[in-house]
Amino acid sequence: MKVLSLAFPGFTFIDLAGPLQAFSMLEGFESQIVWKATGEVASDAGVSVNATQTFETAWSDPDILFIPGNTKALFSLLSDDETLRFVADRGARAKWVTSACNGSLLLGAAGLLDGYKAASYWYTHDSLAQLGAIPTSERVVIDRNRVTGGGMTAGIDFGLTLLGLIDGEQKGKLGELLFEYAPEPPFACGRPELADEQTVAIARQILATLMPLEAIPTPGRRNRIG
């Protein structure tokens, strides 16, 4: 079970962690972390990981292609032809094409979500439509072989769901128990509709500077790349 995960400079650390932790329980799990060069790739959380492969050496036929998200770092990739070509190529041959958070924007920009239902981070949810996808407000969205998770921590729900889909429900349940995944959000405000107005306003103000929705490629540009 060849899991190919993209790690770009500035990626959101927990977007990668939840899914990989679940995937690591897959029967025959093997992992490659890919970027333009091998070696250190900084995350957004004060810790770096290591790319083991480049776009040239990564598996050509992964079982799972996985894309994490971020704010500015993810947005800069939406118009990066080299990355879009790589994602489009591996996505065309992967058994499962997947993402957490707004990593789905990169799948969409690479032309991999045309006509597919998909999840995204709450702030970027509507923008998925601009990239050909059908934005779907669920924490994990499965449409044929596209499996996408919502924002950041949704990667755990997404990873365990895919573990259960591939290796069977018993494995998914085992993963959830081994991970002690009985969450208790301390503030009970993890979605805009659950949070108070002030918290939502502060969040939107921060995200507006970090996620320039107007920079999301137009369909014309997307089709040229895809």
Residues 11 to 70 in contact with a copy of itself, rule: CB under 8 A: 12-14, 16-18, 20-21, 23-24, 29-31, 33, 40, 44-50
How far apart, in whole angstroms, are the C-alpha atoms of residue 23 and residue 83?
23
- Smallest gap from Cβ 194 to a copy of itself, in A, equals 6
Of residues 145-174, those binding a copy of itself (CB under 8 A): 150-154, 156-157, 160-161, 164, 169-170, 172-174
In the complex with a copy of itself, the residue whose CB is nearer, 46 or 220, is 46
In the complex with a copy of itself, the residue whose CB is nearer, 111 or 151, is 151
The number of beta carbons lying within 10 Å of the beta carbon of residue 111 is 19
Strand pairing of 39-42 and 48-51?
antiparallel
Ramachandran quadrant class, 132 (left: phi over 0; alpha: psi -120 to 50; beta: rest):
left
- Smallest gap from Cβ 33 to a copy of itself, in A, equals 6
In the complex with a copy of itself, the residue whose CB is nearer, 9 or 221, is 9
Inter-residue contact 189 to 49 (CB < 8 Å): no
Of residues 174-213, those binding a copy of itself (CB under 8 A): 174, 176-192, 194-196, 198-200, 202-203, 206-207
Amino acid at 163: L
Inter-residue contact 155 to 100 (CB < 8 Å): yes
* Of 1, 110, 143, residue with least CA distance to 64: 1
* Burial of 76: CB neighbours in 10 Å, binned 0-12, 13-18, 19+: middle
The residues that are catalytic are 101
Judged by CB under 8 A, which of 65, 94, 101, 110 binds a copy of itself? 101
- Smallest gap from Cβ 148 to a copy of itself, in A, equals 13
In the complex with a copy of itself, the residue whose CB is nearer, 69 or 226, is 69
